[in-house]
Amino acid sequence: MHWSVKGIIKVFSTVSFVVFYLFLIPWLTHELGKSLDWLFLHYFFSIDVLALPAQIVSILRAFGWGVMATGSIIFIKSWLDLARAAKFLPIIALARKNLGPQKLVTTGLYAHVRHPMLLGYLVCLFGLSIVSLSPFMAIWVVPLVGYFSLTVEVETEERELNSWFGKKYREYQKKVPALIPRCCKPQPEKG
């Protein structure tokens, strides 16, 4: 079997993406959250989150699994929207360098936020914090991961999209928020 360099890079990119985003970041987020919970709640204040009644713990964990499922659905749906409409498999920047999308996707979840995959991912991490019963993971760690994702990953991606689609993408940026969907459509200014 003959492997091309491009094929090897695609396989490596895909494996790296899966390991990093689906295992490493959630594990690190979980461990950091649990460590902060222990340090602040247990060590400083002698509060045990697991001392909640079993029924409440079960309800919280079931809710957390529902939140994780919702985040997964958002992530998968937006990934499929992009793959179908733009004829593009969004993996990582290494794979995107030579394989840019063929079309700007502004439908489906992309009509509500510019980065629905990141939104779905953060919702998943938030669900993991609920399943783990980790208040610090929910309050500090997940928002911190979101902040770094927005400042590093999204800025790079937006620069690429601006270079690929130009004015069309800048207009899309003005209309659609990056990560948090608007509750209601903005009203036109009366003048």
- Give per-residue pLDDT as tens, 151-167: 887 888 888 888 888 99
Which whole number is the average pLDDT over 122-135? 90
**Distance between CA atoms of residues 141 and 40, nearest Å:** 14
Q: Which of 54, 25, 21, 44 minimizes the C-alpha distance to 133?
A: 54
Token match 């295992």: residue? Answer: 23
Instruction: Label residue 6 by pLDDT band (50, 70, 90).
Output: low
**Distance between CA atoms of residues 132 and 116, nearest Å:** 24
Which whole number is the average pLDDT over 13-37? 75
**Distance between CA atoms of residues 175 and 4, nearest Å:** 41
pLDDT of residue 191: 44
pLDDT of residue 52: 78
User: In order of start, what are the domains of the chain with their CATH numbers?
Assistant: 5-175 (1.20.120)
Average pLDDT value for the chain:
80
pLDDT of residue 184: 66
**Distance between CA atoms of residues 38 and 136, nearest Å:** 9
Which whole number is the average pLDDT over 112-121? 92
Higher pLDDT, 130 or 92: 130
Amino acid at 50: L
Range name among 10-24, 46-60, 122-136 with the lowest pLDDT average: 10-24
pLDDT of residue 87: 67
Range name among 7-21, 33-47, 68-82, 125-139 with the lowest pLDDT average: 7-21
C-beta atoms surrounding 56 within 10 Å:
10
